[in-house]
Amino acid sequence: MRPADLELATVIKSYGDTVAVRGISLKVKAGTYCCLLGPSGCGKSSTLRMIAGHEDVTSGDIVLGDDIVNELPPAKRGTAMMFQSYALFPHLNVRDNVAFSLRMKGIAKAERHKRADAALELVAMGQYAARLPAQLSGGQQQRVALARALVTDPQVLLLDEPLSALDPFLRIRMRAELKRFQRDLGISFIHVTHSQEEAMALADLIVVMKDGVIEQAGSPQEIFNAPATEFVARFMGGHNVLTVGAKRVSVRTDHVSLAPAGGPGKAAAVQEIEYQGSFVVVSLKAADGQELTATIAEKAFYAAPFGLGDDVTVSWDPANEHLLTN
Q: Interface with another protein by CB under 8 A: which residues?
A: 52-54, 73-76, 80-81, 83-85, 87-91, 100-101, 103-105, 148, 152
- Closest contact distance (angstroms) between CB of 102 and another protein is 9
- Closest contact distance (angstroms) between CB of 45 and another protein is 13
- Closest contact distance (angstroms) between CB of 65 and another protein is 19
Angle (deg, nearest 10), helices 138-150 and 94-104: 20
Which of residues 98 and 217 has its CB atom nearest to another protein in the complex?
Answer: 98
Can you give the length of the chain in residues? Answer: 326
Which of residues 82 and 280 has its CB atom nearest to another protein in the complex?
Answer: 82
Residues 6+ apart with CB under 8 A from 320: 251, 252, 255
The answer to whether 44 and 36 are in contact (CB under 8 A) is yes
Which of residues 103 and 285 has its CB atom nearest to another protein in the complex?
Answer: 103
Q: Is 153 in a helix, a strand, or coil?
A: coil
CA distances from 55 to 48, 65, 74, 109, 146 (A): 9, 20, 10, 32, 21
The answer to whether 11 and 47 are in contact (CB under 8 A) is yes
- Closest contact distance (angstroms) between CB of 74 and another protein is 5
The answer to whether 284 and 270 are in contact (CB under 8 A) is yes
What is the side-by-side strand order in the sheet with 247-252?
239-244, 247-252, 322-323
Residues 6+ apart with CB under 8 A from 16: none
Residues 6+ apart with CB under 8 A from 232: 208, 215, 216, 223
Which of residues 54 and 322 has its CB atom nearest to another protein in the complex?
Answer: 54
Residues 6+ apart with CB under 8 A from 219: 203, 204, 205, 206
Which of residues 100 and 128 has its CB atom nearest to another protein in the complex?
Answer: 100
- Closest contact distance (angstroms) between CB of 138 and another protein is 15
Report the C-alpha gap between 199 and 203 in whole angstroms: 5
Which of residues 91 and 180 has its CB atom nearest to another protein in the complex?
Answer: 91
- Closest contact distance (angstroms) between CB of 161 and another protein is 12
Which of residues 157 and 214 has its CB atom nearest to another protein in the complex?
Answer: 157
- Closest contact distance (angstroms) between CB of 131 and another protein is 15
- Closest contact distance (angstroms) between CB of 40 and another protein is 18
Which of residues 105 and 183 has its CB atom nearest to another protein in the complex?
Answer: 105
